[in-house]
Structures are given as C-alpha cells and as structure tokens.
Amino acid sequence: MRTNAQGQRETIHKSQMSPSHLQIHDLSVAYHNGTRLALEGVSFDVPQGMRLAVVGPNGAGKSTLFKAIVGLLPPERGEILIHGTPYGAHKQCAAYVPQRKEVDWSFPVNVQDVVMMGRYGSLSWLKYPSKSDHAIVKRSLEQMNIGALAKRPIGDLSGGQQQRVFLARALAQEPHILLMDEPFTGVDAATQEGMLNLLDKLQTQGMTCIVSTHDMNLAATRFDRALLLNQRIIAYGAPAQVFTTENLLRAFGAHAMLVDGQTLVDECCPPDEHFQIGESPELERLEE
C-alpha cells in the first residue's frame, strides 16, 4: 500500500515499483537509548537486481544496517524506502539471513519449521500454512539442496548446512531484496561457491542481493557494487573505485597495512592489542 497524491491509499503492483529497490536517506541508528550511534548519516540507493557487498571492520555497523532495513531496529533519524515507500508497506519484500552467531541454535526446532517461518508474513492471523505454502517450503529446501535434512533439528547441523537453512527460509519469503549478514564466515568452500552461484541465479530473476563480508577479494570480484562502512559511509560505488588504499585506511585505520603496494586488512584483534615490531618478546629473543 502507498498513499497517492490525493491522500488515498492504493496497492502497488510489481509493474509500478520503483527501479531503486532500496533507498536510504540520512540514516542514523543508535543503541543505549540513543546515546551511542552505531550508524550516522548513511545514504545510498540500490537499484533493482544489483549485487552489493557491504564491507567494514568489526563494529562498523554492518549488522545494524541490515537490522534497520528489515525493521528490527528503529532509526534514530532518516528514512528507509523500499520500492519508494517506507519499509512497513513492504515487510515481505526484504528477507534477512542473520549472522550465524546471532542465532540460538539450541532452540528445539527442525529445518522444515525454520523454513516455514519464511511464509509467516504471508499468512493471515492464525491461518495455517496452505498447500502452496508447503510447496514453496519444499521448493526452497530443494533449491538449497537440503531436502533430506527437513526433519533434522537445526542444532545438529554443520555451519554450512545451517547457513543453507536460513537462506532457504529467506527464499521461502519470495523477497525482492535479500540481505545476508556474513554468510561466508565459517562455511566450507563448496557452500560458499554454491551460495555465489545461487546469487547469480537470483540476480537473473531481478532480485537485489546485499551481502556483508570480510572477504574483500570476493567483494571486488563477485559483486557489482561495494559499500565501505565505518559508522558512516566511507565509499560507495564500483568495487575498484571503493577499495582504494586511501579508503581502506580511512575505514580500517590501524588494521590496514600496506604490503608490496597492496592494502591488507587484519581483523584478528582490536588495534591496541597489536604489538609494535621491537616490542614483541619473540622478536627480541630472536635478535639476541
């Protein structure tokens, strides 16, 4: 639904939707009753069918951005438009695959039930899933190659399998925008390649995919656009324009190093825990 120029509410059909699937204007999001800003003044547009990688150090606000887009966190300031209208009108349009560490994997629920959750937004209040909901869940499980796991508790699965379950749940929602928070972290190479191939397929169907990742090589080679974030937007555009030494130093600070003309980013621990060469006991011992 949206409000037209005459103030009347009207239903939006797919053919009338804005070519920019997602528009974010001056978005700020805060924790601790508004006292701690996690995102500040973030603005960018994502056209339909675009594949965007969101990159930034730990604590940059990547997960906060995704949660704000799907309405899990209220903005302190600014707006988020999906198909040109506020998010609330298009709840089903954006599906979110959370970071694995944010999910309680001990929750006693099986794979099929998790994937059915993707259909809940389409069911009217207290309505049971229809035949078509069950068919969509089955198709989503098959698409992710986990049909055989349908009755297994999610806690029993490997990291890669769990990632596929949550992706199947998102697909069951039949979204226009798919948001995946660090889907490649802790999964095997085959699962990663499988997910990238699936993104290729979804892109040909016009789905907009937004993925956060620490893998800059992947972001540069398999994505159309990159967003470099550290509370504010450092750069947004084609990966080659975004991943410059200057931008990476601005985003990663002490975690970025120049080696043979290449910028490397080290995210193993906070900057103050890095020793300076000469301060390392091992190095000093070697020098003796």
Residues that bind ligand ADP (CB under 6 A): 31-32, 38, 56, 58-64
Question: 85 burial class (0-12, 13-18, 19+ CB within 10 angstroms)?
Answer: middle
Residue 59 binds which entry of Mg ion, ligand ADP, none, CB below 5-8 Å type-dependent: ligand ADP
Q: Which is nearer to ligand ADP, 38 or 199 (CB)?
A: 38
Q: Which is nearer to Mg ion, 112 or 162 (CB)?
A: 162
Q: Which is nearer to ligand ADP, 133 or 181 (CB)?
A: 181
CA distances from 242 to 163, 209, 225, 286 (A): 28, 18, 8, 40
Residue 237 binds which entry of Mg ion, ligand ADP, none, CB below 5-8 Å type-dependent: none
Of the candidates 168, 212, 205, 165, the one whose C-alpha atom is nearest the C-alpha of residue 66 is 212
Look up residue 256 and give its two tokens. Answer: 């970025």
Eight-state DSSP code of residue 152: S
Smallest distance, Å, CB 62 to ligand ADP? 3
Smallest distance, Å, CB 229 to ligand ADP? 7
Q: Which is nearer to ligand ADP, 137 or 235 (CB)?
A: 235
- 225 strand-pairing partners: 52
Q: Alpha-carbon distance 95 to 257, whole Å?
A: 36
- Binding residues (CB under 5 A) for Mg ion: these are 62-63
Smallest distance, Å, CB 276 to ligand ADP? 25
Smallest distance, Å, CB 118 to ligand ADP? 23
Q: Report the number of secondary-structure helices (H) and strands (E) in the chain.
A: 9, 14
